[in-house]
Amino acid sequence: MRHVSFCKIPKILFFLACCAVPAASALAEDHGTGRVTVSGISAGGYAAVQAHVALSSTISGAAVVAGGPYHCAERNIVYALGRCISGSDLEAAPLVAATRAAAAAGTIDPVESLHNDRVWLFHGKADPIVNVAVTGAVRDFYASFLPEQAIALVDNIPVTHGWPTRDQGVACGEMGGDYINACDYDAAGELLQHLYGSLSQPTTAREDGLQVLDQAAVVPEGGYFADSGFAYVPEACIGKAGECRLHLAFHGCRQGSEFIEDRFARMSGLNEWAESNRIIVLYPQVNKSLMNPQGCWDWWGYTGADYDQRSGKQIAGIAALIAAWSE
């Protein structure tokens, strides 16, 4: 796998010869076209929601597999491991109110930026970890900001707690492994087509398209980011980044590179769609730690009380990665 270092000009672009790309202001103007979107599974699903809501002036849509609503844990590990997984006593209304208050205080982007976005939600029919009530809560949360037709919910695939693919990973009903399941269901294609609209059919992902991404050159300290992540760059985007969309996919617990190397990035199914549709895919990586031994993204506050706000270390790191692509 080739290593992609960031070019040493202002905020560093992550691929090939510092290609010309739109500035951050251009990203905001192009927001309605869905240029930047996110997805994630489990803790990564929570990360996707947090990034989408906190950075909604830049991110135009989110796909959430086995994740829950914004601010679910309220900085409380008991809530994180309780209601945010079981769904017990989890109501969207207080979280919607907290989101509006955060936007009014300026700690996240204005909620009005969400109004034209699209959201794709997935709950495995055989998921023994995250209760379907959690998916219901994230649906109700987004319904307070988006029109009904912008929200898709899939809950009829008999997968356990894993990322469903057409033919990659363990059997659909098998729990564990890399948390990637072969279910004869193309979640990557379904979510990308909901977020972006009609797309060309997938093609073979290029072996050298998946590259090592130098995160350490861009993200702030304190977010427990790994030094390196992964980036899939379609051939059509080499030297033409400004003509390509950007999608960030967040791994789940025990699914980062410390646990399964690059297999989530290779097996998710996203790269095949990216290659034929000029979509650059980033796979940011976070490390495990004493407070986070499973290598989860922060959905309860181990990086600080502002974990789900723009100033939070991981949200700021995600914004930096997007900005690096945008300059």
Q: Which residue has the tokens 């998946």?
A: 210
Angle at 3 between CA 164 and CA 64, to 5 degrees: 25
Give the separation between CA 37 and CA 246, rounded to whole angstroms.
Answer: 7
Residues pairing with 36 in the sheet: 246
Which of 109, 113, 117, 127 is the catalytic position? 127
Give the separation between CA 152 and CA 172, rounded to whole angstroms.
Answer: 21
Is residue 40 within 8 Å of 48, Cβ to Cβ? yes
Which of 31, 52, 123, 161 is the catalytic position? 161
- Let me know how long the chain is: 327
CB count in 10 Å sphere of residue 320: 19
Which of 42, 56, 113, 326 is the catalytic position? 42
Strand order in the sheet with 163-165: 163-165, 180-182, 170-171
Alpha helices by DSSP H, 37-131 = 43-54, 77-81, 83-86, 92-105
**Active site includes 127?**
yes
Q: Report the run of H or E that residue 120 belongs to, with start and end.
A: strand 118-122
Sequence-separated contacts (24+) of 289-295 with Cβ below 8 Å:
289/224, 292/224, 294/253, 294/254, 295/253, 295/254, 295/255, 295/256, 295/258, 295/259
Residues labelled catalytic: 42, 127, 161
